[in-house]
């Protein structure tokens, strides 16, 4: 009889245990004490069982500004903020624009029992335009010394990028002819290089077996490119300086692109202006660090 009473008491004590609310988080939840053996299902675990999420969250990435602007206009709120970071040293992706839809907002009215106007900052759209193939190709080889054959091959592979829209610059065909002439003269040694008024250089080659034979050719000391900075972006005029060096009868050629940072600045500014105008939003230079 006594043993049966003890079992009744244990059963009653076990069944009588219930979670106890210890306090409130000001409209944002409650602090609950759980008896041993109990488990509490939170909103995040229950959300997976719902027909749809409780709120918007996640990150979407875009490569072109038009799609980014369309998405931002579809989801932006009064508390949404657009941030921009620029790294001109990053050749492949120097610009990153981030729209944070659920950012903090001092003007938003909080719940009556909450003094905080905070946002989760976890619903975002990112615009990270990639550098164009042409931009990566020409910037990667800028300042890189090449043999006569390598230089001629490089010009031939990328001849469509050479622009002659401005006076005083050679066409792509003229650059290729010059590069091929360099290649054909590789068995000769350079006697002299004299600048001429038209903007090029006369280079005299002397046959090793016949010092009296001189081959002349004209080399351009600069040429112009017409290439976009970003994929599907507008083309920019980029000047390149042609360089050469002769050592022990061997000729190496290369080019140096002139002030690519200025070109990147303008391309970035064009995108930011288009984003600001298209979304009717101001853009802050910075990023959220967590």
> Which pLDDT tens digit goes with each residue over 66-96?
999 999 999 999 999 999 999 877 777 789 9
| Domain co-membership, 66 together with 175 | no
Task: Of 4-13, 139-148, 278-287, give the lowest mean pLDDT range.
Answer: 4-13
| Domain co-membership, 68 together with 158 | no
pLDDT digits over 228-247, tens only? 999 999 999 999 999 988 77
pLDDT number for residue 216: 55
C-alpha 171/C-alpha 219 separation (Å) is 12
What's the domain count of the chain?
3
Give the domain range for residue 105.
55-130+268-285
Among residues 34, 54, 74, which one ends one of the domains?
54
| Domain co-membership, 61 together with 41 | no
Residue % of the chain over a pLDDT of 70: 72
pLDDT number for residue 151: 93
pLDDT band at 159 (very low <50, low <70, confident <90, very high): very high
| Domain co-membership, 154 together with 245 | yes
| Domain co-membership, 44 together with 75 | no
| Domain co-membership, 48 together with 96 | no
| Domain co-membership, 163 together with 242 | yes
| Domain co-membership, 210 together with 220 | yes
pLDDT number for residue 260: 93
| Domain co-membership, 250 together with 209 | yes
Residue 137 lies in a domain: yes
Residue 263 lies in a domain: no
Question: Which distant-in-sequence residues (6+ apart) come within 8 Å of 179 by Cβ?
Answer: 148, 151, 152, 155, 156, 253
| Domain co-membership, 167 together with 277 | no
pLDDT number for residue 165: 80
| Domain co-membership, 252 together with 281 | no
C-alpha 255/C-alpha 200 separation (Å) is 15
pLDDT digits over 183-228, tens only? 555 566 666 555 655 556 666 666 655 555 555 556 678 999 999 9
C-alpha 128/C-alpha 130 separation (Å) is 6
C-alpha 101/C-alpha 112 separation (Å) is 23
Cβ-in-10-Å burial (0-12, 13-18, 19+) of 68 comes to buried
Q: What is the pTM of this model?
A: 0.74
Residue 187 lies in a domain: yes
Residue % of the chain over a pLDDT of 90: 48
Q: Tokens 């990435």 sit at which residue?
A: 61
Contact present, 56 and 123 (Cβ < 8 Å): yes
Residue 290 lies in a domain: no
Choose between 5 and 277: higher pLDDT.
Answer: 277
| Domain co-membership, 171 together with 237 | yes
C-alpha 16/C-alpha 12 separation (Å) is 6
């Amino acid at each position: 009889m006594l043993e049966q009473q003890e079992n009744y008491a244990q059963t009653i004590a076990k069944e009588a245990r219930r979670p106890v609310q210890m306090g409130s988080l000001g409209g944002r939840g409650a602090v609950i004490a759980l008896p041993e053996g109990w488990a509490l299902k939170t909103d995040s675990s229950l959300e997976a069982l719902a027909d749809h999420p409780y709120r918007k969250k996640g990150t979407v990435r875009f490569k072109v500004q038009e799609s980014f602007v369309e998405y931002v206009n579809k989801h932006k709120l009064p508390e949404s903020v657009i941030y921009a970071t620029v790294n001109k040293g990053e050749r492949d992706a120097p610009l990153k624009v981030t729209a944070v839809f659920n950012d903090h907002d001092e003007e938003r009215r909080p719940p009556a029992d909450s003094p905080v106007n905070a946002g989760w900052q976890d619903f975002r759209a990112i615009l990270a335009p990639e550098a164009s193939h042409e931009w990566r190709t020409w910037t990667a080889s800028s300042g890189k010394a090449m043999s006569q054959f390598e230089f001629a091959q490089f010009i031939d592979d990328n001849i469509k990028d050479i622009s002659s829209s401005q006076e005083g610059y050679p066409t792509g065909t003229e650059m290729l002819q010059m590069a091929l002439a360099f290649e054909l003269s590789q068995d000769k040694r350079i006697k002299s290089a004299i600048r001429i008024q038209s903007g090029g250089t006369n280079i005299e080659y002397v046959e090793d077996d016949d010092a009296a034979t001189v081959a002349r050719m004209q080399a351009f000391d600069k040429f112009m490119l017409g290439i976009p900075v970003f994929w599907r972006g507008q083309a920019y005029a980029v000047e390149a300086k042609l360089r050469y060096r002769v050592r022990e009868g061997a000729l190496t050629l290369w080019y140096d692109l002139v002030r690519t940072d200025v070109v990147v600045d303008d391309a970035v500014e064009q995108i930011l202006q288009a984003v600001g105008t298209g979304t009717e939003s101001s853009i802050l230079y910075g990023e959220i660090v967590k």
